[in-house]
Amino acid sequence: MTATVLITGCSSGIGAAAVRRFAEQGWNVAATLRNPEAARFEQGAGSVETFALDVTEQRSVDQAVSRALECFGRIDVLINNAGYGLFGPFESATPEAIGRQFSTNVGGVLAVTRAVLPQMRERKSGVIINIASLTGLVAMPLYSLYAASKYAVVGFSESLSHELAPLGIRVKVFAPGAVATDFSGRSMARTFDGDGGPYADSIRKVMAVFQANRAAGGASSSPEQLAQALFDAATDGSAQVRYVVGDDALAVMQSRKDLGEEALLAGIRQRFGLASS
Ligand SMILES: NC(=O)c1ccc[n+]([C@@H]2O[C@H](COP(=O)([O-])OP(=O)(O)OC[C@H]3O[C@@H](n4cnc5c(N)ncnc54)[C@H](OP(=O)(O)O)[C@@H]3O)[C@@H](O)[C@H]2O)c1
């Protein structure tokens, strides 16, 4: 039987590349996105079907999952990919901006997982891959809300991996470093207007480091590399839970090992010019 993957957030970036990768490998793909009219996916050896899914709307989640199940009969692999970044000082974030960040990056993962889980439990098989971030393992400055949301995804995934292992379902969490997608462009919301007022100096310093990084070689992984890593994780048959992806992410995790927690945190403040006054 042809295996089926359901992926959220397929309009661009990692989600769109994952649709292509699984389709090329002959899988059925339930490609979900907020505006399916805009989607153009080539058919692979399997079948690619698009379904409208906004991860913040329970009714949309339930409808998309039940339509995908009607279409393909089962979902073997779920990839919770939809998400966006929120950059800027915590103090200037509105309650609405905070709510939206958490209802998308965390609530979306919970809602889609809850909708897909019963048929995996009944079959006693399945793989759930949640895309967190390196920022869900080591937090960078001015990303407090994004980091909190991705730490939540890591914690949720790790605990759920234990809970579902006896039921034959493997839960995995991805912690990619920088990936060359729309993430730092159209998918990056801000908590501040203008120059950020009392935080202007810190914002300027942090943005300068990120810009210098980009100028020095850009993002460390391509969406296609992430898609390949997702395909490998979905099919490796292993009990591995955490996947740190990208040379930049691996280097930060190695520094944590070499330096220890506090020295790593002090090094991050120093690198961004944010040592205490
Ligand atoms: N790029 C990076 O450097 C990086 C690093 C680590 C982790 N990540 C994570 O990777 C995931 C994918 O991001 P990307 O880099 O591929 O960026 P992207 O190209 O901007 O893709 C983000 C996707 O999420 C979708 N999305 C946002 N809100 C949604 C909602 N409420 N319901 C359904 N879909 C929604 C977007 O859809 P619309 O077109 O409808 O907005 C888009 O398809 C995110 O979870 C991100 O946090 C990215």
Q: Residue 262 falls within a domain, yes or no?
A: no
At 137-163, the pLDDT tens digits run 999 999 999 999 999 999 999 999 999
Q: Residue 257 falls within a domain, yes or no?
A: no
- Cα four-point dihedral sign 214, 215, 216, 218: positive
Tell whether ligand 1 has an atom less than 6 A from the beta carbon of residue 80.
Answer: no
Token look-up 């912690």 returns 175
Q: Residue 98 falls within a domain, yes or no?
A: yes
At 63-99, the pLDDT tens digits run 999 999 999 999 999 999 999 999 999 999 999 999 9
33, 15 contact by CB (below 8 A): yes
Token look-up 């801000």 returns 190
Tell whether ligand 1 has an atom less than 6 A from the beta carbon of residue 229.
Answer: no
The residues annotated with a catalytic role in the active site are: 146
Give the pLDDT score at 40: 83
Q: Residue 39 falls within a domain, yes or no?
A: yes
Tell me the longest C-alpha to C-alpha distance in the chain: 63
Q: Residue 244 falls within a domain, yes or no?
A: yes
Q: Residue 261 falls within a domain, yes or no?
A: no
pTM: 0.97
CATH number of domain containing 60 = 3.40.50.720
Give the pLDDT score at 125: 98
Tell whether ligand 1 has an atom less than 6 A from the beta carbon of residue 210.
Answer: no
**For the CA of 17, the nearest atom of ligand 1:** 16
Of 251, 187, 253, 246, the residue nearest 221 (C-alpha): 246
CA 32 to centroid of ligand 1, rounded, Å: 12
> What does the pLDDT average to over 233-240?
97
Q: Residue 150 falls within a domain, yes or no?
A: yes
Give the pLDDT score at 219: 65
- The preferred substitution site among 179, 188, 214, 230 for testing ligand 1, maximizing ligand atoms within 8 Å of CB, is 179
Q: Residue 144 falls within a domain, yes or no?
A: yes
Residue numbers of the domain that contains 62: 4-199+220-248
How distant is the alpha carbon of residue 159 from its chain centre?
Answer: 17
CA 275 to centroid of ligand 1, rounded, Å: 32
Of 209, 117, 119, 218, the residue nearest 171 (C-alpha): 117
Task: Report helix, strand or coil for 99.
Answer: helix
Confidence band (pLDDT; 50, 70, 90) for 218? low
Q: Report the number of distinct structural domains present in the chain.
A: 1
Tell whether ligand 1 has an atom less than 6 A from the beta carbon of residue 4.
Answer: no
